[in-house]
Structure 1
Amino acid sequence: MSLNMDAARQAFIEEVAELLQSMEDALLALEDNPADNESLNEVFRAMHTIKGTGGVFGYMPVVEFTHAVESVMEEVRSGREPMSEQLICILFACRDHTSRLIEAIVEMGEDSGKPLSSDLIATGHDLLKQLTQRTLQTTNITPNTPEQPKYLPIVSDVWMIALDFGRNALRNGMDPLSFLRYLGSLGDIVDVVTLSVPPPLNEEFDPESCYLSFRIAFRSDADKPTIAAVFEFAEDDCDIRILPPDSAQDTYLDLLASLSDTQVTRIGEMLVSIGALTPNELARALAHQADERNTDAISETHSEHTANQRLGDILIQQGSIKPAVLEQAAKTQEAARAKRQDETRFIRVDAERLGHLINLVGELVTSSAAIRIMVERAGVENMNEVVDSVDYLVAEIRDNALQLRMVPIGESLSRFRRVVRDTSKELGKNIELVITGGDTELDKTVVEKITDPFMHLIRNAVDHGIESPEERARVGKPVNGTITVNAYHDSGHIVIEIEDDGAGLDVKRIRAKAEAKGLVKPEDTLSHEETLRLIFAPGLSTKDSATNLSGRGVGMDVVRQNIEALRGSVELDSVLGQGTKITIILPLTLAIIDGFLVGAGRDQYVIPLSQVAECVEMKAAGEMLKPHNGHYINLRGEVLPFIRLTELFNNQHTVRHEHRESLVVVRFGHHKVGLVVDTLLGELQTVIKPLGKLFEELRGIAGATILGTGDIALILDVSELAMIGQMKRHHSDLRHS
């Protein structure tokens, strides 16, 4: 039982995290459009659901706090309270406090009944006080408004009842006035209008027939079924329509919004279950709908959606329900249907199990390669077709297994909307965050590891990338700054660009700071790009004083290290006065890649296939540029730096034989470099294995893999090789300038 409760608590924590994220997104939407009903409902549902589920586990601090917030949202949704900027700020704080309450209870574990910390309690009281004060301020805007008379027939505050008696009502012993007397016992009859409906022209007046109709304004706390029960014995001789007041309608809307998925059935049954519709009203509407079908007014082949629409039209025509309640019922039914479909399509899987599956697929890839090599060595040609089929299936299993861990990056990027909002308000800036390419997918393990670097970069852009409104106006820029985040796929990688239209980076200031710290010498010549990259050096900052947020330069070395640890790279471009653009390039997955196997000297290497641009024979590639010490080649008019892998890793053959060298052109981002190898061995699926600590400082290597032969091949880090090639080019330029 304890294990089941632990699993239930974990499910509760995960659900709360999702609800709070939905609430945050809804509040951000409300800042742009305070009248967005769907966002208002989303905030209400989040607090309502957390309150209900928290009560199941006995988390009373959570229940009490969320109930107070829920009550305020109920007032806003009903239109009795306005959604203001002040309230949105308080609700953001309430959302954060709810998250901290959950964290505190989780840390307590089995002792979740212990009192909370005094700071947490004080924060909760302060937030509730702010909500209460705000409510008093909004409700006392017109304190001198005279009280309305008690029996004034205000339509929005009373039940409207229509009674149309049948011709035989008096013959069957019905007393119309008795219904009014009975109704008066349940509340106040505000007003009654008596209508006399004369017989048609072709029908004589019958003194025993009833020609009466009542229109009643009724104020009561009774629900609709109770009021309908007053006329229960007259249903066969009377047409009854009961329209609820706005207050009751708000209750129906709340009940519909809080229905669990198991309670959501057909629209008519839902409305009956919450008391918005009486069984007889539904029965009459269904009978009317059936009559229409029988007369071909509606085709039997119409969808359930069309049938629901028609039923709703009939209920409104009957005066049984208001359109707003019917619309909410349809939304509730549609949301429940969509959620049930999602639940049948998706299942939650433990990340460790998924990781274990990926590892097994990796071993399967290695075993498949070994089988092919054994078949080729044995010369069993009639096995080739079977081996090809196995390779194809293994590739499909690999791709599908990796897809299981792919998630849209937009969910991770959208978290930064709150960061930009809070930080810009704290600094007195007006900044908009624009996110594009959010549906681009990336391995979940990569997404989890880039959150911190991204947070730092976004805060940098807000803190002192974007200028203050006054400074922007002074230099002729729009007062509102913009940070754009764009994600897209490129050659087996994902590229994420973070760009701001702020002040940009001052390369002269960066150079001066770098010289002061001894990172470069005054006589060193650096390109614009190399000077910008100095901000990734440990401890370098162009800020004279630190802020409580972050500074561009402080911690940027950690950003670079974290990204490079994922076999990624970060590039920087900035124009003083115009803005800064940071480009991050990451592999789609950290587990398995398609590789290109090459030989150089005594060893074999794997190059990620997605980064291979072309392969040419070294002699046919072009003329080697001697002035640059042989590290350049003229490839069809393009000056291309190249690296000999045998020289880089010092693994030449003991006895050097004349052989044909090949040039493998690889690219990473905006950089291209040539890798000179001895042999081209073809494509293969590669399972990436991390290197031990002994090889951590080995440059240009991202990992290792086991070949089908059992040999070890090193996987090249193309990003670092590209940087090595650029450095060779730069130093050669310096020597020959």
Structure 2
Amino acid sequence: MSNDPAETFRQEARELLEQLEQGLLDLEHNPADDDLVNAVFRALHTIKGSGAMFGFTDVASFVHEFETAFDKVRKGLSPITPELIAVALDAKDHVHALIEAPDSADGAGEPILAALRGIVEGDSFPDAPMIDPAPAAGVPLEPTGRWRIRFRLPADALVHGTNPMLLLGEIADLGPCEVTALVDAVPGLEVIDPESCLIGWQVDLTHADPVAALDDVFLFLKDGMELSIEPLAIAAMTEPELPPAAEAILDILAEEVEALAVVADVPAPKAAKPSKEAREATAAKSETASTSMRVPAERLDELMDKVGELVIAQARLSQLAALSADGNLKTVAEELERLSSGLRDTTMGIRMVPIGTIFSRFRRLVHDLSRELDKEIEFITTGEETELDKTMIERLADPLVHLIRNSVDHGLESAEQRIKAGKSAKGTVRISAVYAGAEVAISVTDDGAGLNAARIRAKAEEQGLITPETRIADQDLYYMIFAPGFSTAKEVTSLSGRGVGMDVVKRTIDGLRGKIELTTRPGEGTTFTLRLPLTLAIVEGMLIRVGNGRYSIPLSAVEECVELPASVATHSRGRNFLDIRGSLVPFLRLRDLFSTPGEPDAHQKVVIISSGEGRAGLVVDQIIGNNQTVIKQLSHLHAGIETFSGATILGDGAVALILDTSRLVSYGQAYEEKFRNENGRAAA
């Protein structure tokens, strides 16, 4: 197989551009952080070098100009302002366009560079070099035009691809120089580590002031290397004798540096044998260099499909083994079940991605909306480490963008309105993710004005969704914002007014077998909570029987199983509650819900399930046992059946429907609410 080098560059560039964007957004809040400035500069430098290497000359040329302008910021010659960050983000977007669709980005780069140059050249500050020259004893402080540079690279520099010859070549380009190898730390050949960088270098360079230029040469190595720069007095240089070992090493180096004159420094004393700890540390670094690899997402999808088929085949084998008296077959079936279970868990773990990978994108969105709407906004994220199936992550981006836009545009008031309401001028948008049983709950919260029930009702009546005589609770009224074409915006803008946002959110979440919860308090803010299953592929399930039908319940949603008390077993309506250790839990009779014919079993069971903070009981005829459930989507003809989230194939080839626990819990909560209302009216 041959990989496309251009596509390899694009993949790496996307990661670097993401780092660049996050670094720029962090700089806006921490402009004095030199580490952030250097991180941004390193990302630019890498994109420029890689772009030139892979033939993206337009990218390399633009980033070079971008880097040159930003270098003034790095050297302290220009302040970091919101205007600078905004233009730098535009430049980052242009680099992305040049990489992904070069033809669509023609002519857009020069205005951005002109704006960037105008900002960085507007103010000037005293130069603050990143490397301070330290004068040697007895050497005058005034530059003489001659400098002595000494450096030693990190021990693992060669392993990570650094070529000292290229660095020396860059220094030689700065002016006339003499290069001396420092071989005092080179051990004997019997203990030498060929992967460690053991040689240091001394360069006597003729240059007016090489500090800034050397800063660029050692841009990626400064954190782990030894480096000193001293002004050098004009004096005769003595050339000491070379020991044989050092002479042999320098002969090899001479073939590499060619035009560079290599002169030895001092005799090399015999170095001590590296300690066991040092050797182990070096080995550990070499091992960690290859602990991860890039795999196309399509291969993971294919692997997941194969694992799903394996799980179905294993279930079939287990069922055949259970019917057989062959002990060897039972042993093989049990071993295969153990292996397939482990393979399933490993594959699922590979597919799980921290949700923080999409949270980071929204920082830029909030930054741009803040500038466009002239609203000061604080964006807070929590729960970034919460993991979700990668297919869920990919499809969640658009719904979350719509929700954040809605919170910023409709939810947050202007600074003047907030101050009048007794709030701070800065609004807050918070996005969080937490595990909730078999689900992940993702919430988008703002501290704005909340939903206006009167405006929503007026718009609903205008669109014919309800009549003026319709009596409807406010909570039900709020959910009308998810109706297609619904919008309370007074005018159409680039952000809102066309009613094509919230209905998209609902359709997408429904397609992911999730649900949306909405809570709002007038004057205090609104929270949208998306409840989603952890995965769309394979789950551990509990197989149950109701009549002649078999169904699967996701095991992670099951809390416990109890016997249905005889006192309530004969009732089909009315008191649908169980006392579970002092807590009333509503229960549903699946026979009634599914209109199952025939008489129920004599000893029915109740499966207590949970979703979020709600619980409900499901009355079933029999609990068959646990099984690995490969989720298959229902057809479009059956997609509207809310009770089921999918189907699975059992070991005997039969199909079992997978119960949607969140919907069933909602049914149970409706029963509970109806029961309380009836009791309240009876008491009155």
Q: TM-score range by the shorter chain?
A: 0.7 to 0.9
The structure-2 alpha-carbon separation of the partners of 1:372 and 1:89, relative to structure 1 and needing over 3 Å to count, comes to: same
Aligned to 1:8: 5
User: Within the alignment, does 1:41 sit opposite 2:3 as a pair?
Assistant: no
Aligned to 2:84: 87
User: Following the alignment from structure 2 to structure 1, what is the Cα–Cα distance between the partners of residues 307 and 7?
Assistant: 29
Aligned to 1:19: 16
Residues 375-397 of structure 1 show CA distances to partners (whole Å, capped at 9, x for unaligned) of: 22124457555543332222111
Whether the 8 Å CA contact 1:625–1:633 is kept in 2: the answer is: no
- State the Cα distance separating 1:621 from its structure 2 match: 7.9
- State the Cα distance separating 1:58 from its structure 2 match: 3.3
- 1:607 alignment partner AA: I
Aligned to 1:52: 49
Aligned to 1:184: none
- State the Cα distance separating 1:78 from its structure 2 match: 2.2
User: Following the alignment from structure 2 to structure 1, what is the Cα–Cα distance between the partners of residues 130 and 305?
Assistant: 65
User: Following the alignment from structure 2 to structure 1, what is the Cα–Cα distance between the partners of residues 663 and 79?
Assistant: 57
Aligned to 1:691: 634
Whether the 8 Å CA contact 1:158–1:244 is kept in 2: the answer is: no
Select which of 123, 127, 131 maps to 1:138.
123
More helix by share: 1
Whether the 8 Å CA contact 1:464–1:551 is kept in 2: the answer is: no
Select which of 585, 591, 594 maps to 1:646.
591
Whether the 8 Å CA contact 1:594–1:686 is kept in 2: the answer is: yes
The structure-2 alpha-carbon separation of the partners of 1:265 and 1:76, relative to structure 1 and needing over 3 Å to count, comes to: closer
- 1:316-355 paired onto structure 2 within 5 Å: 343-355=289-301
- 2:217 alignment partner AA: L
Aligned to 1:207: none
Aligned to 2:109: 124
Aligned to 2:218: 256
User: Following the alignment from structure 1 to structure 2, what is the Cα–Cα distance between the partners of residues 412 and 241?
Assistant: 47
Aligned to 1:202: none
Whether the 8 Å CA contact 2:27–2:33 is kept in 1: the answer is: yes
User: Within the alignment, does 1:479 sit opposite 2:453 as a pair?
Assistant: no
SS in 2 for 1:698: coil
- 1:643 alignment partner AA: L
User: Following the alignment from structure 2 to structure 1, what is the Cα–Cα distance between the partners of residues 558 and 275?
Assistant: 61
- 2:108 alignment partner AA: T
SS in 1 for 2:290: helix
- 1:541 alignment partner AA: S
691-700 or 723-732: bigger deviation: 723-732
User: Following the alignment from structure 1 to structure 2, what is the Cα–Cα distance between the partners of residues 657 and 623?
Assistant: 10
Residues 347-372 of structure 1 show CA distances to partners (whole Å, capped at 9, x for unaligned) of: 11121221111112112222222222
- State the Cα distance separating 1:440 from its structure 2 match: 1.5
Aligned to 2:151: none
Aligned to 2:645: 702
- 1:38-187 paired onto structure 2 within 5 Å: 38-105=35-102, 116=103, 120-139=105-124
Select which of 391, 403, 428 maps to 1:457.
403
- State the Cα distance separating 1:341 from its structure 2 match: 5.8
- State the Cα distance separating 1:447 from its structure 2 match: 0.4
SS in 2 for 1:365: helix
User: Following the alignment from structure 2 to structure 1, what is the Cα–Cα distance between the partners of residues 471 and 569?
Assistant: 28
User: Following the alignment from structure 2 to structure 1, what is the Cα–Cα distance between the partners of residues 655 and 471?
Assistant: 41
- State the Cα distance separating 1:160 from its structure 2 match: 8.5
- State the Cα distance separating 1:71 from its structure 2 match: 0.7
- State the Cα distance separating 1:590 from its structure 2 match: 0.9
User: Following the alignment from structure 2 to structure 1, what is the Cα–Cα distance between the partners of residues 320 and 411?
Assistant: 59
User: Following the alignment from structure 1 to structure 2, what is the Cα–Cα distance between the partners of residues 593 and 583?
Assistant: 23
SS in 1 for 2:306: helix
Stretches of structure 1 that go unaligned for 5 or more consecutive residues are: 106-115, 143-153, 166-179, 181-186, 193-220, 233-239, 307-333
Whether the 8 Å CA contact 2:537–2:630 is kept in 1: the answer is: yes
Whether the 8 Å CA contact 1:624–1:634 is kept in 2: the answer is: no
Whether the 8 Å CA contact 2:133–2:211 is kept in 1: the answer is: no
- 2:604 alignment partner AA: E
Residues 6-65 of structure 1 show CA distances to partners (whole Å, capped at 9, x for unaligned) of: 611111111111111110000011101112222212222222222222223433322221
- 2:531 alignment partner AA: I
- 1:501 alignment partner AA: D
Select which of 479, 487, 492 maps to 1:546.
492
Whether the 8 Å CA contact 2:59–2:98 is kept in 1: the answer is: yes
The structure-2 alpha-carbon separation of the partners of 1:439 and 1:359, relative to structure 1 and needing over 3 Å to count, comes to: same
- State the Cα distance separating 1:91 from its structure 2 match: 0.6
What value does the CA root-mean-square deviation take over the aligned residues?
4.2
The structure-2 alpha-carbon separation of the partners of 1:18 and 1:625, relative to structure 1 and needing over 3 Å to count, comes to: same
Whether the 8 Å CA contact 2:175–2:207 is kept in 1: the answer is: no
- 1:599-678 paired onto structure 2 within 5 Å: 599-620=545-566, 629-630=573-574, 632-636=576-580, 638-653=583-598, 656=599, 659-678=602-621
Rg (Cα) greater in structure: 1
User: Following the alignment from structure 1 to structure 2, what is the Cα–Cα distance between the partners of residues 411 and 567?
Assistant: 22
User: Following the alignment from structure 1 to structure 2, what is the Cα–Cα distance between the partners of residues 502 and 553?
Assistant: 20
Aligned to 1:565: 511
Whether the 8 Å CA contact 1:225–1:278 is kept in 2: the answer is: no
The structure-2 alpha-carbon separation of the partners of 1:658 and 1:385, relative to structure 1 and needing over 3 Å to count, comes to: closer
- State the Cα distance separating 1:228 from its structure 2 match: 4.3
SS in 2 for 1:138: coil
The structure-2 alpha-carbon separation of the partners of 1:620 and 1:614, relative to structure 1 and needing over 3 Å to count, comes to: farther
User: Following the alignment from structure 2 to structure 1, what is the Cα–Cα distance between the partners of residues 551 and 320?
Assistant: 21
SS in 2 for 1:58: coil
- 2:176 alignment partner AA: T
- State the Cα distance separating 1:244 from its structure 2 match: 8.9
- 1:132 alignment partner AA: R
515-524 or 564-573: bigger deviation: 515-524
User: Within the alignment, does 1:372 sit opposite 2:318 as a pair?
Assistant: yes
SS in 2 for 1:693: coil
The structure-2 alpha-carbon separation of the partners of 1:615 and 1:479, relative to structure 1 and needing over 3 Å to count, comes to: same
User: Following the alignment from structure 2 to structure 1, what is the Cα–Cα distance between the partners of residues 99 and 672?
Assistant: 56
- State the Cα distance separating 1:400 from its structure 2 match: 0.6
Aligned to 2:196: none
Residues 80-103 of structure 1 show CA distances to partners (whole Å, capped at 9, x for unaligned) of: 333333222211110111112222
Aligned to 1:314: none
Q: State percent identity of aligned pairs.
A: 38
- 1:446 alignment partner AA: M
Whether the 8 Å CA contact 1:569–1:584 is kept in 2: the answer is: yes
The structure-2 alpha-carbon separation of the partners of 1:575 and 1:728, relative to structure 1 and needing over 3 Å to count, comes to: same
- 2:409 alignment partner AA: D
Whether the 8 Å CA contact 1:563–1:570 is kept in 2: the answer is: yes
